[in-house]
Amino acid sequence: MLQVSYIRENRDEVLNRLTVRNFKQPELVDQIIQLDDDRRQTQTLLDSISAEANAAAKKIGDLMRQGLKEEAEGLKQQTNTFKEQTKTLGDKLTAIELLLQNELVLLPNLPHTSVPKGAGPDENVVALEHGVVPQLPETALPHWELAAKYDIIDFELGNKIAGAGFPVYKGKGAKLQRALINFFLDNAETAGYREMQPPIVVNEASGFGTGQLPDKEGQMYHIGIDNLYLIPTAEVPVTNLYRDVIVREEELPIKNCAYTPCFRREAGSYGAHVRGLNRLHQFDKVEIVQVVHPDTSYNVLEEMSSYVQSLLQKLELPYRVLSLCGGDMGFTSAKTYDMEVWCAAQARWLEVSSVSNFETYQSNRLKLRFKGKEGKPQLAHTLNGSALALPRIVASLLENNQTEKGIRIPEALVKYTGFEYID
């Protein structure tokens, strides 16, 4: 959430940067400033009347001690008026603050100055490509057919148990899942991330803190009777570990990672682009999260991008890095890199990771601050990235590595799987 003070002091800059996002409600900026004006005026009047009421109360006490009861009683009538005015203004202030809060949460984060302007995915910028795209024979199979051929993933069985988008992994398919999770966690630990095992349900305050609520409420599975939400990503519980916390400056950067299942109510359309593992309602993911000093956050973003790329290189997957344009970035992000891997049988790029810097947008909602030995607490910067999401990694591994002997396992994974081929 943007800070009102920043919006007031930088109105034109805010409007200009929102155009990079192709934001459709620029009038919100002036509405927020006007509400803040109303809030300030009401607060000033309330403070003034409260001060008069306090002065009158003190004077009444003095008059009573002097035995001037009749004058004191007359002044008491005036204090009753002060009480009524105070209550009226207090109620008005509460209503204005609620309106202001409701308007602020509708305003997305401001894109960093390096973010390209654009309305959608077609205007993302390819920052780099790595690896050689494999050339497969015409008989090559997409991963959903390979899954059936080797009996490692059963989409129909998952559909029977839960519905579309909930596959069942079997035999070497299940072992491949476990191998990837352990591979990602071990690499994260080597890179200095501390492993966490958070809850996979969160309350409203947690969803609000990282920006899933109210923006993505319809995309989350809601447990109505308990008013809890299944997490769409480990970013939510891990970042909320620091909600309402002031950390010491010397503790920064804070680096955490977590493996969790993830749940998303994404509406799946028909066609090969959402078939098989391309889009699921439940999937496994290892997430990395950092809380850092504002002066270092963009260096950290580059470091996190490089780290995710190192995983793809170890898995021998050709990939590309996209710098997302303003119109394709998430609501809370200031800058995002997407990593896409090449799926050879489908002949298309599939997103497997997003690495984002949120600057103070999340920390302002979370009230996550840091404090040095001197000075006031200030908002930290938060970042997160998928490192990595499993379904499309598995899809790419199956499709890119299919051979006559079976599906070859990348060398870096063999010690985790215990086998070199799925056959």
Q: Which residues are part of a known binding site?
A: 233, 264-266, 287, 351-354, 384
Give the residue ranges of the annotated binding site for L-serine.
Answer: 233, 264, 287, 384
State the pairing for strand pair 369-371/246-248. Answer: parallel
Q: What are phi and psi of 229, to 5 degrees?
A: -125, 135
The answer to whether the beta carbons of residues 349 and 342 sit under 8 Å apart is yes
Residue length of the chain? 423
CA 206/CA 229 separation, integer angstroms: 9
CA 310/CA 18 separation, integer angstroms: 33
Residue that has been written with the tokens 């920043």 in this structure: 6
Task: Centre a 10 Å sphere on the Cβ of residue 397 and count the other Cβ atoms it contains.
Answer: 25
Dihedral sign for Cα atoms in the order 307, 284, 361, 20: positive
Give the residue ranges of the annotated binding site for ATP.
Answer: 264-266, 351-354
